[in-house]
Amino acid sequence: MKGSDVTVSNVSKFFGSFAALKDVSLEIKKGEFYSLLGPSGCGKTTLLRAIAGFEDPDSGLILIDGTDVSGLSPDKRHCNTVFQSYALFPHLTVFENVAFPLRIKKTPVRLIKDLVMKHLSLVQLESHADKKPSQLSGGQKQRVAIARALINEPSVLLLDEPLSALDAKLRQHMLMELDSIHDKVGITFIYVTHDQQEALSVSDRIAVMNAGLVLQVGTPQQIYENPATEFVARFIGETNIFKGKVLSREGTLNVIGIDGYGTLLVDDETPVEVGDTIVATIRPEKIRISNDQPVGDELNVVKGIVEEPIYSGFQTKYVVRVEGGERLTIFRQHANWSEGIPDIEWKDDVCLSFSARDLVIVEKSPG
């Protein structure tokens, strides 16, 4: 496998007295597509810059392939960056932008043309070689930046929100292209984004960050299905949060008293004690909605009134106010016509049912 593994070990970084990174530790494997996901200002760029060599951590170590890189300037590290703002050299053509690293390395002139054209074809820009960056569209600039960052054949590619300046459609398209480029070059990608959709769809693993801390590291499924904290649950996709107390338990089945609902059953491996205060979450698509009778034989059934049905083509999102005053979000996929699911309208009385297994305990504290 090409690419390097990157180890970030207990890295902290302060700007004045403000801690941008607090004791961050990550193990990134060779060839992985690894995302750093978190809200604006959580320290993603700072971490990426520390790996690239633009920021010196105040404490902790960064190892690339097991070698401590502290003290190595960016030009000496075997990683290249795709900058958020592209950072193309405006005075050079596309060809010369991509050739820049080779010229610096004094690659023989006869090799340069082939190498550059090869990388331009990787990003499908062969026909734009002699344009200036100012003559390119956003997506094309982005591709030049990628080709330029790849031409030195780095073992790690750092991407700082590379798609944030593009419109939604193009972003989807470029994301798939990035994924296929990753498959082709096979090196380690460290991908910074604040867009959970992006991170979920292409990453091998994701580190979710907030306020300088890494909250959870895991595969997209782990992050989505088993969020480690309430913050992660709320940040990744939409979710419903319940706060309550453990009333009794039987094996992994907990009876939780939720303020306002009465009781819910939660089937979760998390070891809790009777009396603990817990936060549990369930994803909106795991709740089934029906007019009067609960569907199936789920353990949890709640009644409520539809406050907002929001139709979006492939699904409808319902905001339901349940007895006790809380609002829950439910997604219902639109299956084919023959299923004959009755229409649920605004102000309808509905029945919500969901499995005890789909409720996940994300936080607990001894009561």
Ligand X SMILES: Nc1ncnc2c1ncn2[C@@H]1O[C@H](COP(=O)(O)OP(=O)(O)OP(=O)(O)O)[C@@H](O)[C@H]1O
Binding site for other proteins (CB under 8 A): 52, 54, 73-75, 80-81, 83, 85, 87-93, 95-96, 99-101, 104-105, 109-110, 112-113, 117, 129-130, 132, 148-149, 152
Closest distance to other proteins from the beta carbon of 100 (Å): 6
Decide which of other proteins, ligand X, Mg ion, none touches 132; Cβ closer than 5 to 8 Å per partner kind. Answer: other proteins
Sign of CA pseudo-dihedral 336, 342, 344, 350? negative
**Which residues fall within 8 angstroms of residue 82, CB to CB, at 6 or more apart?**
142, 145, 146, 149, 157, 158, 159, 160, 162
Restricting to residues 183-202, name those near ligand X by CB under 6 A: 194
Select the span of 3-11, 41-49, 123-131, 305-313 touching ligand X (CB under 6 A). Answer: 41-49
Q: How far apart are CA 40 and CA 46, in angstroms?
A: 12
Distances in Å between the Cα of 303 and the Cα atoms of 170, 173, 300 are 42, 41, 10
Instruction: Please pick, from the candidates 6, 20, 26, 99, the single residue that binds ligand X as defined by CB under 6 A.
Output: 20
Residues 7 to 46 in contact with Mg ion, rule: CB under 5 A: 45
- Closest separation between CB of residue 210 and ligand X, Å? 9
Instruction: Confirm or reject binding of residue 53 to ligand X (CB under 6 A).
Output: no
Task: Copy the structure tokens of residue 223.
Answer: 């992050």
Smallest separation (angstroms) from ligand X to the CB of 21:
8
Binds 104: which of Mg ion, ligand X, other proteins, none (CB < 5-8 Å by kind): other proteins
Q: Which of 45, 140, 196, 216 binds ligand X (CB under 6 A)?
A: 45
Using alpha carbons only, how large is the chain's radius of gyration in Å?
Answer: 25
210 binds Mg ion (CB under 5 A): no
CB of 97 to ligand X, least distance (A): 23
CB of 17 or CB of 312, closer to ligand X = 17
Contacted entry of other proteins, Mg ion, ligand X, none for residue 20, CB cut-off 5 to 8 Å set by kind: ligand X
- Nearest approach in angstroms of CB 194 to Mg ion is 8
Contact 273, 366 (CB under 8 A): yes
Cα–Cα separations (whole angstroms), residue 252 to 147, 229, 269, 356, 357: 52, 19, 6, 10, 10
The alpha carbon torsion through 48, 53, 57, 61 (nearest 10 deg) reads 90
Burial of 275 (0-12, 13-18, 19+ CB in 10 A): exposed
Residue owning tokens 């193309």: 88
- Specify the residue, 51 or 185, whose C-beta has the smaller distance to ligand X: 51
Options 3, 31, 43, 284; binder of ligand X; rule CB under 6 A: 43
Q: Is residue 57 part of the contact set for ligand X (CB under 6 A)?
A: no
- DSSP for residue 285: G
- Asked if 126 and 144 count as a contact pair (C-beta separation under 8 A), the reply is no
List the one residue out of 183, 186, 235 whose CA is nearest residue 206.
Answer: 235
Q: Which phi and psi (to 5°) does residue 151 adopt?
A: -70, -25
Residue of the chain from 35, 46, 140, 216 that contacts ligand X (CB under 6 A)? 46
Residue 101 contact, options Mg ion, other proteins, ligand X, none, Cβ 5-8 Å cut-off depending on partner type: other proteins
Interface residues toward Mg ion, by CB under 5 A: 45
Contacts with ligand X, residue ranges (CB under 6 A) = 15, 20, 38, 40-46, 194
